[in-house]
């Protein structure tokens, strides 16, 4: 398998999962769009945008854009921003949706950005 520009990042396996999942299940990701849209999400994304910008981020951005150019893309892009900016958040994707919702409501930027990925991972149609 070819080495990716983000292979060195601590959350590389989670980034790879997001990319594979959004490509394989765009409808599931599109269904998370409601969870991705909120004032808290916009604030969280703005706060970590510059921290996530890097060569690896640009490569991942191109990959996710190629995988899904629609509503699914927005939720996947937020997850990738969080996974690049925060080394310690990959586990949140595999969390229980209700637990991550509580953390997100408490204002945790990682949880806010990863909630749609968590919903997609858990295969639920549960939205915020």
Boundaries of every domain in the chain? 25-122
- Per-residue pLDDT, 30: 82
3-class SS of residue 87: coil
pLDDT over 80 at 102, yes or no: yes
pLDDT over 60 at 127, yes or no: no
Cα torsion through 88, 123, 37, 114, rounded to 10? 0
pTM for the structure as a whole:
0.77
pLDDT over 60 at 68, yes or no: no
Token pair, residue 93, equals: 């994707």
**18: number of CA atoms within 13 Å, CB side?**
36
- Per-residue pLDDT, 31: 80
The 10s digit of each residue's pLDDT in 74-97 is 778 889 889 988 999 999 999 999
């Amino acid at each position: 398998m070819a080495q990716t520009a983000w292979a060195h990042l601590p959350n590389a396996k989670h980034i790879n999962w997001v990319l594979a999942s959004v490509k394989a299940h765009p409808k599931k990701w599109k269904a998370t769009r409601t969870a991705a849209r909120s004032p808290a999400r916009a604030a969280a994304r703005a706060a970590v945008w510059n921290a996530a910008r890097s060569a690896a981020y640009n490569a991942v951005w191109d990959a996710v854009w190629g995988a899904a150019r629609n509503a699914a893309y927005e939720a996947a892009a937020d997850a990738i921003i969080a996974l690049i900016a925060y080394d310690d958040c990959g586990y949140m994707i595999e969390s229980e949706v209700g637990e991550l919702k509580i953390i997100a409501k408490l204002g945790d930027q990682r949880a806010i950005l990863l909630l749609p990925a968590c919903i997609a991972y858990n295969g639920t149609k549960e939205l915020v």
